[in-house]
């Protein structure tokens, strides 16, 4: 038996008995559904649907649902009409750009079961019999799933809302109808993950409120197919909700979808139960998944935003329907918003921290429960482990937090003590992003490894070792963080932290990193010391942001050039000391700005072999590089 399987068994046996019993019961029921799923779907005829929703007729039900409020407007208050119509035109011609595919034509007939990037597909079958994680082939099931989320239809719905042109609504009807006929209940790869069914609930309810008044959608046969399919999506989400002993964004998405389905159908014991279950779970999970300082526990900036939407949208939807939100729920959401405001850079972009798959619960503008005015000041989120130095032109994002998912890894990376930096409006230092998940196990592990982050690496060892090469969302909880100093100030911000990731070495070493931002000079100091002894191989990488080039300037200076929008370059100087102890290597690196996309970058790597020695690196605009008077106070006695 492989070590990976043995490790999974050991982890399963460590779970609480009630979790194992619940999982076993779910497995038995799911296996029974191999035979009963088609009957379950066929049993939901119009008569049963009307009984379940307390409606006297299909037309009465349709009109009642159409009169219900929705979570957000179909188009924003000031819509970009040209952009919406261009997006609608692309969608109606089956041209999409999803998960790094680039512009791609799907042809006249959409194949819902195929990864159109590779051409590999999954034959329709009962969802539990479909193996969609295939390390031996380069398929990515997320491509089929993303296509089936149908969020690419949103511009078409907005175009109909703006123009009242029937072809837009008719196209959405035809697309949904084709999906329903191609993906019978629980019988294709697009049912293989409950979260995907949950996300379709959010999209389909939006499309309903956009198009229900159209002539095309007056077809009673379609109305029946659509409402029954949507009802079955909620039924499936409840039956296969992704519950574990530690729940993450999948479970949150499922709970959010149940709230949506309950509010959408409104009446009947089952919709009322969906609403109750979904809202109860969200209220329970919010304080479990989100620290009181507002940081989601999965260790990813992108997933923080994703999870925020799953907690926020149902609350807004409920309030639109006249239901209150508890104060403690609103307070935790406000804290999540504060973190979003803090990690968002001056240009509106966000750090490439942890995993990211470009996901959104519903990619449309929605009002927030709270109107928190952002403050441009340095701020710490000590429970989540993030420290953000910032002013009007500088933004330095630092990680000194726990490994994601309550110590299991999840969507977190080996990035403790790593940082990203924007200085004087120029993005200089970047994280490398996530790139892909199951499309390549090797690339998945490469991009979440220590070497792909701006943090010291010793003896080539991971700060948190991988559980196994094929366990793509697990890390050993070894790099326990420790914050030693956080002192934001009017002229300088100071951070100092360490972690225990290398205490497992035969000769243990503890890296101690100090970061200082000079607000006046827009300069950054990075000082790495090491507590320990013995001979080791040390590497301190700095990944330059896309487009930043590096050229030798003198023995201990590099000139960094950052292109701006005018076609000119801004110059920065990188200096380091002591020169005798460290050798700088300029290498080719890669960065993934979005899922499925990797671009070349410059990777700077300071290396030495031998006993521990400190390294100081300073980044500053070229025009103020000669002024070094501010540096010494922050490197003495460290």
CATH number at residue 555: 2.70.98.70
Q: Are 199 and 97 contained in the same domain?
A: yes
Q: Report if residue 301 sits inside a domain.
A: no
Shared domain for 138 and 278, answered yes or no, is yes
Mean pLDDT within 587-616: 98
Q: Are 619 and 428 in contact (CB under 8 A)?
A: yes
Asked if the structure places residue 326 within a domain, the reply is: no
pLDDT in tens, 516-540: 999 999 999 999 999 999 999 999 9
Whole-model pTM: value is 0.94
Tell me, letter by letter, the H, E, C secondary structure of 355-366. CCCCCCCCCCCC
Is 284 a member of any domain? yes
The yes-or-no verdict on residue 369 having pLDDT over 80 is no
Claim to verify: residue 262 and residue 409 sit in the same structural domain: no
In tens, the pLDDT along 248-266 reads: 999 999 999 999 999 999 9
- Of 245, 271, 289, which one is at a domain's C-terminal end? 289
Same domain, 274 and 397: no
> Could you give the CA distance from residue 409 to residue 412 in angstroms, rounded to a whole number?
5
pLDDT for position 33:
81
pLDDT of amino acid 442: 96
Residue 65 lies in a domain: yes
CA distance 436 to 453: 16
Least-confidence region, from 134-138, 171-175, 404-408, 561-565: 134-138
The reply to whether 300 falls in a domain is: no
Q: What is the pLDDT of residues 134-177, one digit of tens each?
A: 787 888 999 999 999 999 999 999 999 999 999 999 999 999 99
Is it true that the peptide bond before 578 is cis, omega within 30 degrees of 0?
A: yes
* Judgement on whether residues 278 and 383 belong to the same structural domain of the protein: no
The model's pLDDT over 15-50, given as tens digits with 9 standing for 90+, comes to 677 777 777 777 777 777 887 888 889 999 999 999
Instruction: Quote the crossing angle between the two packed helices 269-289 and 220-239, to the nearest 10°.
Output: 50
SS3 assignment, position 157: helix
pLDDT of amino acid 371: 59
Q: Is the pLDDT of residue 191 over 90?
A: yes
Residue 363 lies in a domain: no
- Quote the mean pLDDT of the chain: 94
The C-alpha atoms of residue 572 and residue 579 are separated, in whole angstroms, by: 19
Do 431 and 284 share a domain, yes or no?
no
Tens of pLDDT, residues 442-494? 999 999 999 999 999 999 999 999 999 999 999 999 999 999 999 999 999 99
Give me the percent of the chain exceeding a pLDDT of 90: 85
Residues 403 and 274 in one domain: no
Q: Is residue 361 domain-resident? A: no
Q: Report the pLDDT value the prediction gives residue 624, as an integer from 0 to 100.
A: 87
| CATH number of the domain encompassing residue 185 | 1.50.10.100
Query: Which distant-in-sequence residues (6+ apart) come within 8 Å of 6 by Cβ?
Result: none
Tell me the pLDDT band of 564, cut-offs 50, 70 and 90: confident
User: What per-residue confidence (pLDDT) applies to 9?
Assistant: 56
Strands 386-390, 557-563: pairing is unpaired
What per-residue confidence (pLDDT) applies to 14?
A: 63
Q: Same structural domain for residues 122 and 258?
A: yes
The reply to whether 383 and 284 lie within a common domain is no
pLDDT value for 3: 45
Domain boundary among 229, 263, 289: 289
pLDDT range class, residue 611, cuts 50, 70, 90: very high
Whether residue 625 is predicted with pLDDT greater than 90 in this model: the reply is no
| Residue 167 CB neighbours (<10 A) | 15
Same domain, 142 and 261: yes
Model pLDDT, residue 483: 98
Joined together, the tokens standing for residue 563 give 């292109």
Question: What is the phi/psi pair of residue 300, to 5°?
Answer: -140, 130
Q: pLDDT tens across 54-63, in order?
A: 999 999 999 9
Q: Residue 638: what pLDDT?
A: 43
Torsion region of 100: left, alpha or beta (phi above 0 gives left; psi -120 to 50 gives alpha): left
**Number of residues that make up the chain:** 638
Task: Check pLDDT > 70 for residue 417.
Answer: yes
Choose the final residue of a domain: 289, 324, 353. Answer: 289
Q: What is the DSSP string of 439-456?
A: T-HHHHHHHTSGGGSSS-
Range of 227's domain? 3-289
Q: SS3 for 569?
A: strand
Pair 270, 384 in one domain: no
Residue 322 forms part of a structural domain: no
* pLDDT band at residue 12 under the 50/70/90 scheme: low
Whether residues 193 and 44 share a domain: the answer is yes
Asked if 200 and 232 count as a contact pair (C-beta separation under 8 A), the reply is no
The yes-or-no verdict on residue 6 having pLDDT over 60 is no
Number of structural domains the chain divides into: 2
* Average pLDDT rounded to a whole number, residues 189-211: 98
**Per-residue model confidence as pLDDT tens digits over 89-109:** 999 999 999 999 999 999 999
Q: Which residue has the higher pLDDT, 627 or 99?
A: 99
């Amino acid at each position: 038996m492989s070590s990976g399987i043995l490790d999974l068994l050991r982890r399963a046996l460590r779970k609480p008995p009630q979790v194992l019993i619940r999982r076993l019961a779910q497995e038995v029921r799911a296996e029974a559904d191999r035979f009963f799923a088609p009957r379950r779907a066929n049993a939901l005829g119009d008569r049963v649907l009307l009984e379940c929703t307390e409606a006297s007729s299909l037309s009465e039900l349709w009109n009642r649902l159409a009169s219900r409020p929705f979570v957000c407007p179909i188009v924003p208050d000031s819509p970009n009409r040209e952009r919406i119509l261009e997006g609608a035109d692309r969608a109606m011609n089956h041209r999409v750009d999803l998960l790094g595919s680039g512009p791609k034509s799907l042809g006249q007939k959409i194949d819902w079961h195929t990864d159109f990037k590779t051409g590999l597909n999954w034959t329709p079958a009962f969802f539990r019999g479909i193996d969609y994680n295939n390390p031996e082939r380069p398929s990515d099931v997320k491509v089929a799933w993303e296509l089936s989320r149908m969020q690419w239809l949103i511009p078409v719905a907005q175009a109909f809302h703006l123009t009242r042109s029937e072809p837009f609504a008719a196209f959405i009807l035809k697309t949904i109808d084709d999906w329903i006929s191609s993906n019978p209940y629980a019988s294709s790869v697009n049912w293989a993950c409950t979260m995907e069914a949950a996300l379709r609930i959010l999209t389909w309810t939006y499309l309903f409120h956009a198009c229900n008044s159209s002539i095309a959608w007056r077809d009673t046969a379609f109305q029946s197919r659509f409402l029954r399919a949507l009802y079955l999506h909620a039924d499936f989400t409840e039956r296969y909700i992704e519950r574990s002993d530690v729940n993450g964004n999948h479970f949150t998405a499922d709970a959010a979808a149940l709230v949506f389905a309950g509010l959408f159908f409104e009446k009947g014991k089952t919709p009322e139960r969906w609403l109750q279950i979904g809202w109860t779970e969200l209220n329970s999970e919010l304080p479990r998944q989100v620290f009181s300082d507002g940081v989601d526990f999965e260790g990813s900036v992108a997933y923080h935003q994703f999870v925020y939407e799953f907690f926020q949208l149902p609350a807004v939807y409920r309030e639109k329907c006249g239901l209150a939100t508890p104060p403690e729920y609103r307070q935790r959401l406000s804290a999540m918003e504060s973190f979003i405001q803090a990690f968002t850079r001056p240009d509106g972009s966000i750090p490439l921290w942890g995993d990211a798959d470009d996901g959104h619960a519903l990619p449309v503008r929605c009002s927030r429960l709270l109107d928190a005015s952002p403050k441009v000041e340095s701020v710490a989120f000590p429970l989540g482990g993030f420290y953000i130095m910032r002013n009007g032109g500088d933004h330095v994002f630092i990680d000194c937090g726990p490994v994601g998912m309550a110590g299991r890894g999840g969507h977190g990376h080996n990035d403790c003590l790593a940082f990203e930096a924007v200085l004087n409006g120029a993005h200089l230092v970047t994280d490398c992003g996530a790139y892909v998940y199951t499309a390549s196990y090797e690339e998945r592990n490469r991009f979440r490894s220590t070497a792909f982050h701006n943090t010291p690496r010793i003896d080539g060892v991971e700060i948190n070792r991988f559980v196994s090469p094929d366990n793509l969302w697990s890390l050993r909880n070894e790099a326990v963080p420790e914050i030693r100093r956080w002192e934001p100030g009017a002229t300088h911000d100071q951070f100092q932290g360490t972690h225990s990731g290398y205490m497992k070495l035969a000769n243990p070493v503890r890296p101690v990193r100090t970061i200082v931002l000079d607000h006046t000079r827009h300069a950054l100091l990075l000082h790495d010391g090491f507590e320990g002894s013995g001979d080791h191989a040390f590497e301190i990488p700095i990944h330059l942001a896309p487009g930043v080039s590096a050229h030798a300037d003198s023995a201990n200076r590099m000139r960094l050039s950052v292109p701006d929008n005018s076609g000119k370059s801004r110059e920065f100087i990188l200096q380091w000391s002591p020169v005798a102890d460290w050798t700088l290597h300029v290498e080719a690196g890669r960065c993934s700005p979005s899922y499925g996309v990797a671009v070349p970058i410059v990777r700077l790597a300071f290396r030495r072999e031998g006993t521990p020695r400190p390294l100081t690196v300073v980044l500053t605009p070229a025009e103020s590089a000669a002024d070094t008077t501010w540096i010494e106070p922050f490197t003495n006695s460290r």
